[in-house]
Structure 1
Amino acid sequence: MNASQDQHPQQPEPAGRHFEPDLRSMTRINLRPIASPMPLGFFAVAIASVIVGSLQLGFFGDDAHRAVALTILPAFVLQFLVSILAFGARDVLAATLMACFSGTWLASSLVLAVNPPGGAEVLGVLNLVFACFALLMASVARRKRALWFVLCVAVPRFAVAALYNLTGAEWLAYVSGAFGLLLAAVATYAAFALMLEDMRGEQVLPIGRSGPAHAAVEGDLTVQLRDLERQAGVRRTL
């Protein structure tokens, strides 16, 4: 047999089919670094929680509901902005939490300002649903300790607030207000710790990160870019 003859001749490529070459060497992913929006988000939680908690504890008069509503309304705007930036930073957990927080503040502000019939009961159901949602988020946010601690306090705060809205028991208002001040303290600590960390480039106050959350801050660029091709906005579908 002639050595120049091909024992296995190549089959012609079927008509209409086109095999693309390996595009990995031609692919470029542009990263757009942004500052962390989480200190702003946590500070907004703290400020709104102090205002609402003070109302529930009786620090304001009975006619202060509309003033409180107007005061917590900016928290909706700020946390909605934080949510948008967090989605851009590919932190879906923080983005989702901040967006739901912003919606809750908006609803609370409108109910306090307008005082519609049945508003307290509807707000109670909203707070109860948010407490359940925060509990689910806390179950998967353990490695992001700053966010996890805020959620651990937010769950009982909104649960007790829901019971107060649904039952009208005055003592529940005081318990909810106390939890609100505790939530403000935890959120303020988390915001300040993250801000110091960003300014100095290292952890100053303990936050307790572990797992991927720790690697995201302490790891090198290789760790940061791991599995980037599978991230939302890079992969073909969500």
Structure 2
Amino acid sequence: MQRFKNKTALITGGTNGMGFATAQRFVEEGGSVIITGRSENTVTNALEKLGNQAFGIVSDTGNINDLMNLQAEVKKYTDQIDLLFANAGYGRFAPITDVDVKGFDELFNMLVKGPFFTVQQMLPLMKSGSSVVFNTSVVTDIAKPDFSIYTAAKSAVQSFIKTFAVELTGRNIRVNGVSPGHIKTNIFHNTGLTEEQIESTIQDFIPTIPFKRQGDPMEIANVVLFLASEEASYIHGAEIRVDAGLSVIR
């Protein structure tokens, strides 16, 4: 299929995981993609795999200066964005008693302020028929210990789906969200855990997943592209769970 021929996507956090998989699928279906990442090395490596229909910007979604400069950087490659996937983010997890102001601000800057101002700055480039997709999380449906700040931040993003949908309806810009469950990504790599601790954590939660496996990033990408396509032309203000039923099956 060539659902996105002559269309351009901006994917924040597009150098790995769900963002990279979405970039791959968008290019495969005829589109051009602009990805952001926090380091020149990761952006360069991703572009080598994505090919000549992909472009990259070194930009930290948790840095307000980078956010305010993003529109100018994007305009170097295009004057129109058809899909904005506000995806960038990572997790830090701690008990309530161990959370400090620095850690709190770090997550809210990345996960709340980041997607809000990314969309705000890209709106001048988004025309009638374009689409915004937010990346939320299954944690907004399931209370988990040590996840208080991460869950609160993702709940704020969840609220953006509805409020942005209200404001952008008149411009015919659809706003939706994808809510991933346990997906094979590097979400734990900024937590300070060792590789052995990360693997132990993963093995602990796999038995709680109805399908007894982690999801593949491409399984998220397929839903994002569906939401951005004409096939989803009557879907607006919705959040689709892609969690193997984790949030509803006990």
TM-score bracket for this pair, using the shorter chain length? under 0.3
Higher helix content, 1 or 2: 1
Query: Going by fraction, where is strand more abundant, 1 or 2?
Result: 2
